[in-house]
Structure 1
Amino acid sequence: MRLTDTSDLWWKTAVYYNLNLETYMDWDDDGIGDLAGLAQRLDYLAELGVTCLWLAPFYPSPRQDNGYDIADYFGVDERYGHLGDLVEVVRTAHDRGMRVIVDLVVNHTSDQHPWFRAARSSPDSPYRDFYVWRDEPPAQQRPSMFPDAEDGVWSFDDAAGQYYEHSFYRHQPDLNTANPAVREEIAKVVGFWLQMGVDGFRVDAVPFLIDGEHGDEHDYLRAIRGYVGRRSGHAMLLGEVNVPYAEQMAFFGGSDGDELTMQFDFVANQQLYLALARQEAGPLVEALRARPAIALTNQWANFVRNHDELTLDQLSVEEREEVFAAFAPSEDQRVHGRGIVRRLPPMLDGDPRRVRMVYSLLFSLPGAPVLYYGEEIGMGEHPGLPRTRDAVRTPMQWSSGDTGGFSNADPDAFTLPVVEGSYGPAHVSVSDQLHVSDSLLSFIRTLVHAYRRSPEIGWGRLELLEQDDPAVLAHAMTGTTGQLVLLHNLSANRRTARVHLRDADTTTRVVDMVGETTNACDEAGCLQVELDGYDHRWLRIVRGQEKRLL
């Protein structure tokens, strides 16, 4: 794909914020978050510096899988409001300088979707081929994504008299995306939400969207990208593709970059936690070194946590055990044999230095940062919930009262309980941090604005700076707007970072963008920085009289 105008690639340097309406803000006090509540919090998000909202599924759904079991692609669950409320949220967000993307979940539907109900009613139904059926399941089956919940990916349906395929839970039958009629319906879904004003889609479970047996999986992704481009000149596709880098490149569309616009970097995310467990930068350095070069029309999305478990499936068994031992020593903190159902602060024993270092690292990595709601205030998980993934999906904590300011309803009416104990609202809330200069919320706001003043992170060239100390991660981001040197100490002990800057001397200014330290180069252009335990620096390098963003 040739690019002649980069002015509308807003997503390259956006700050993303993912939230679930159900647990974000309840405005009508029925115990369920809603669009009206979100509308009341858009100014908060704008002040935080968010430039793109990512809304988790809000469609009509039985809600057996956090709304990813969709029963109607063209509606809003009545518990959250209606289409008019959504349009108002999108319009107001745009007025505040924020884009809005929504989940595109078209690898499966709910078994309550009218298509599946019609499909199972008769073999002659025109919707029968919307799903994948067999008289007998294949002898060799691929494993279920949830091996501790499902014993396979085929289930028998009594009404249909056949087995149907489901890559995830049995209440989520797979769509037959090889069927042109299904693809036509998916195009209508995409077109509808673009017409409603959304700015793109987070595409769920992309490797399960397409069936490689038909040999045209990437042709189909390319067709979706082309359709989005024709219907909207600025919309994007952010893909959930948890595979090794070599396979991820195919989902970008290779060097042409004409399939997914962005992808989450699951490799770097998992290596980050291995690095944290070892208190050594090596695993993350190797991941960044292994990142393939991508087209200008593509971008990486970096994240610390998301709405699911912290998956470690790309680590070796030994590496996974290291991370489990460090951050999820109890079996009830783990799920599916591969993941952790905890938020970051409890995993790091609440050490504010370490928590801040991790978020500084998140915003400094080449690409675009993605925050999960509540991360900006250091929310913790609620252990022991029946559905383990729900541990990190609890109500947003706006104030210090028992309900966290989420709702005035009886807490028994909440779909999920508020976190209790040392991470409950009495200790962690927006109201207690909003006007406190040294709070985590203020620090995250500082990082957001530092990132937005540093286009090199989204557009520039990464250089990993060799260090003698294995605990220090040093990298530079260089672009036409200037250069940043970013330093992070993954150890609890004091360390020293040493960086040689080319074309630098004693006239070179070193500007600390996040802290208040003073640094300078020596006559040879060398920069030596002392880093306390879990310390970090964002240093803008200004050579001579050159003008750079500060």
Structure 2
Amino acid sequence: MQKAFWKEAVVYQIYPRSFKDSNGDGIGDIQGIISRLDYLQELGVDVIWLSPVYKSPNDDNGYDISDYQDIMDEFGTMADWEEMLEGMHQRGIKLMMDLVVNHTSDEHEWFIASKSSKDSPYRDYYHWKPGKDGKEPNNWVSVFSGSAWKYDEQTDEYFLHIFSKKQPDLNWENPKVREDVYNMMKFWLDKGIDGFRMDVINFISKVDGLPSAGNPDQYEWGGDYFMNGPKIHDYLQEMNRKVLSQYDVMTVGEMPGVSVDEAKLYTGSERNELNMVFQFEHMDVDSGEGGKWDVQPWTLDGIRSILHKWQVGLAENGWNSLYMNNHDQPRMVSRFGDDGVYHKQSAKMLATLLHTLKGTPYIYQGEEIGMTNVQFDSIDDYQDIEILNMYQEKVVEGGEDADKIMNAIYVKGRDNARTPVQWDGSEHAGFTSGTPWLKVNPNYTDINAEKALQDPDSIFHYYKQLIALRKQHDVMVYGDYELILEDSDRIYAYTRTLGNEKWIIILNFFKEETEFQLPAHLKHDTRELMISNYANIDEQQPIDRFTLQPYEARVYRIQ
């Protein structure tokens, strides 16, 4: 058992634009983060993952970077950033920065030079290709709708952008690109940061020649040609050798489309690549054949089988990231719980799942107070480029039913996660004294941090309890995972075992009461209730058979 700080840590993601505004311009900023560091210390988190704060024209909310070594004006200055880092370190909190190196902004000096001439020394920093028969170089579609190529009149060629038209993909085949990226990483590591979350890092290696996918006569998803590409392990091992291995840091790679077997290669302890990956399989559990916006009901078996597969697959070598929402996903209590009648109970049940599986838990801002999805009345209230492009393509141009598309946005849209953090019951939820860049969820008077801190039974205090338990009991971090009751259509239950220590985790995923029956092989002489999301449990009650209340979670230690 190899112990490591990043295995034992609980990570908290800050999406700075929506966290806390300090100057009344309606946009969260670094001084706003500084003003809430005591709150994060009280929660007990060990690491902050900070979404991008670099210079950016903000086409994709900071994931389009125009200068990797400077701070976006609306977030503050480098001096503010340094004050924030010092404040985190003083409180025993580490900082993990976002590394976005599959693409830059089209306003980055590299791209401006690259675009200026075919003879520019920076031309080969990006993927430029001539058209074919008056069309794009291949048929790939962008993640944000439409072709993945944009024509440039000045040089009569197209550049590749797997994301927005303002996010041209870097050409990692060019060793100068890699060297510049590594130098930039060292710049931040030398400033004292503690790791990187790497944005779509498994997209950086493309298949030679960038061939069309499937039928070349129609637009198709080209993921097979740029996800987990032919040189991805070479690049990550080089990055580790030249940069990461020289610092004591943690790394997590965001990897859409990664399989368990591929994740073992990325995270295997002997391979010297990354500590862990974000996989997305469980985030597609409610997607139909039409993809993300084709919303289908999820099933417990669907969620459990995926989580189980990853728990077992990375049990011996590799490591899991545990999350149910982030800045790109809807709020977990609305998606997998009940954001109405059983709001508090279901939020706590889902938190119990995330903190008792094997892996490193990631909390997304506002999750710890049970923030929910939002339903804005008009498409005009939404800001996310993915939502707006999809609505334009399907409703405005495609003539699809607007109500159906709006419902898909309510369920899956990224702005669900990006409404400002609800700090108190005052106007705009205490996020800003001005007009927020994105409207606040109207339920802020009921759901806010001030209320949560004052209520000993709140979701916040339950998170605090879970995090404290994790620090006290190695079994929560390093214990072996084993599924029980695998055929139940209502209960997700499993054990964690480390030496003589055995815990049973029992989770009711639904609003109906349901019977739990302990498997015969889990005979025991003593039992201790470690945590539960209901207060009315008879701790003397035998646990061989009992009724679980709606969304009930119980964790027992048995001997």
TM-score, normalising length: structure 1: 0.82
- Within 2, Cα distance between the matches of 1:472 and 1:188? 49
Corresponding residue to 1:345 among 325, 334, 346: 334
Q: Which residue of 2 aligns with 1:283?
A: 302
What is the RMSD of the two structures over their aligned residues, measured on CA atoms? 2.7
For residue 88 of structure 1, give the secondary structure of its aligned residue in structure 2.
helix
Deviations 1:78-127 (A, max 9, x none): 22222222122112212212111011000000001111111111112111
Say whether 1:540 aligns with 2:557.
yes
1:226 is aligned, of 208, 218, 241, to 241
Q: What is the Cα deviation at residue 466 of structure 1?
A: 2.5
Change (3 A) 1:271 1:539: farther
2:21–2:32 Cα contact (<8 Å) kept = yes
1:448 matched to 2:467? The reply is: yes
Point out where structure 1 has 5 or more consecutive residues left out of the alignment.
Answer: 311-340, 544-550
Change (3 A) 1:475 1:250: closer
**Map of 1:362 onto structure 2:** 354
Residue 251 and residue 242 in structure 1: after superposition, are their counterparts in 2 closer, same or farther (change >3 A)? farther
Which residue does 2:531 correspond to in 1?
A: 513
Taking the TM superposition and a 5 Å limit, the aligned residue runs for 1:20-419 are 20-136=15-131, 140-147=138-145, 151-213=146-208, 215-232=230-247, 234-246=248-260, 248-249=262-263, 251-252=265-266, 256-271=270-285, 281-291=300-310, 293-294=313-314, 298-308=318-328, 310=329, 341=330, 344-345=333-334, 348-350=338-340, 351-352=342-343, 353-382=345-374, 383=376, 384=379, 385-387=382-384, 388=387, 389-409=414-434, 411=435, 414-419=436-441
The match for 1:322 is none
Paired AA for residue 531 in structure 2? M
The farther-off stretch of 453-462 and 235-244 is 453-462
Q: CA deviation at 1:497?
A: 1.9
Q: Residue 539 of structure 1 aligns to a residue in which SS?
A: strand
1:458 pairs with 2:477: yes
> Displacement of 1:480 after TM fit?
3.7
CA distance in 1, matches of 2:261, 2:524: 43
Q: Using the TM superposition, give the Cα deviation of residue 229 of structure 1 relative to its aligned residue in structure 2, in angstroms.
A: 3.5
In structure 1, the residue corresponding to 2:63 is in which secondary structure?
A: coil
Query: Measured at CA, do residues 205 and 503 of structure 1 come closer, stay the same or move farther in structure 2, by a change above 3 Å?
Result: closer
Q: Which residue of 1 aligns with 2:456?
A: 437
SS of structure 2 residue aligned to 1:68? coil
SS of 2:7 mapped into structure 1:
helix
Q: Would the alpha carbon gap of residues 131 and 288 (structure 1) be closer, same or farther in structure 2, given more than 3 Å must change? A: same
Question: Structure 1 residues 441, 119: closer, same or farther in 2, change over 3 A?
Answer: same
The aligned counterpart of 1:327 is: none
Code of the aligned partner of 2:324: V
Q: Distance in 1 between matches of 2:316 and 2:238?
A: 19
1:61-93 Cα shifts (integer Å, max 9, x gaps)? 001101000000011112222222212211221
SS class of match (1:97): coil
Q: Which residue of 2 aligns with 1:490?
A: 509
Distance 1:265 1:252, change over 3 A: same
Distance in 2 between residues matched to 1:145 and 1:279, nearest whole Å = 23
Query: 1:478 and 1:116 mapped to 2: Cα distance?
Result: 52
Indicate the SS of the match to 1:223: helix
Query: Is the CA contact 1:241–1:263 (under 8 Å) kept in the aligned structure 2?
Result: yes
CA distance in 2, matches of 1:49, 1:259: 29
Long gaps (5+) in structure 2:
209-228, 289-294, 388-413
Specify the SS of the correspondent of 1:510: strand
Aligned with 2:54: secondary structure?
Answer: coil
Q: CA 1:46 to 1:377, structure 2 compared with 1: closer, same or farther past 3 Å? A: same
Tell me, yes or no, if the aligned pair for 1:512 and 1:539 is still in contact at 8 Å.
yes
Q: For the Cα contact (< 8 Å) 1:465–1:474, is it kept in 2?
A: yes
2:57, 2:116 → 1: CA distance?
A: 20
1:519 deviates by 4.7
Q: Equivalent residue of 2:83, what SS?
A: helix
Q: So what's the TM-score if we normalise by structure 2? A: 0.81
Q: C-alpha deviations, 1:206-262, integer Å up to 9, x for none?
A: 221222438422111112123343331x21211111224245326515573422211
Contact kept? 2:22, 2:32, Cα under 8 Å:
yes
The 1:356–1:512 alpha-carbon spacing in structure 2 relative to 1, beyond 3 Å, is same
CA 1:270–1:498 in 2, change beyond 3 Å: closer, same or farther? Answer: farther
Identity of aligned residues (%): 32
Amino acid in the other structure paired with 1:361: L
CA distance in structure 2 between the aligned counterparts of 1:476 and 1:111, rounded to whole angstroms: 50
Count of paired positions: 491
C-alpha separation between the residues in 1 aligned to 2:485 and 2:160? 49
State the one-letter code of the partner of 2:432.
S
Please tell me whether residue 476 in structure 1 is matched to residue 495 in structure 2.
yes
Q: 2: CA distance between counterparts of 1:481 and 1:220?
A: 42
Cα distance, 1:260–1:514 mapped onto 2, change above 3 Å: same
Deviation at 1:532, TM superposition (A): 1.1
**3-state SS of 2:545 partner:** strand
2:497 partner SS: strand
1: distance between equivalents of 2:41 and 2:22?
A: 19
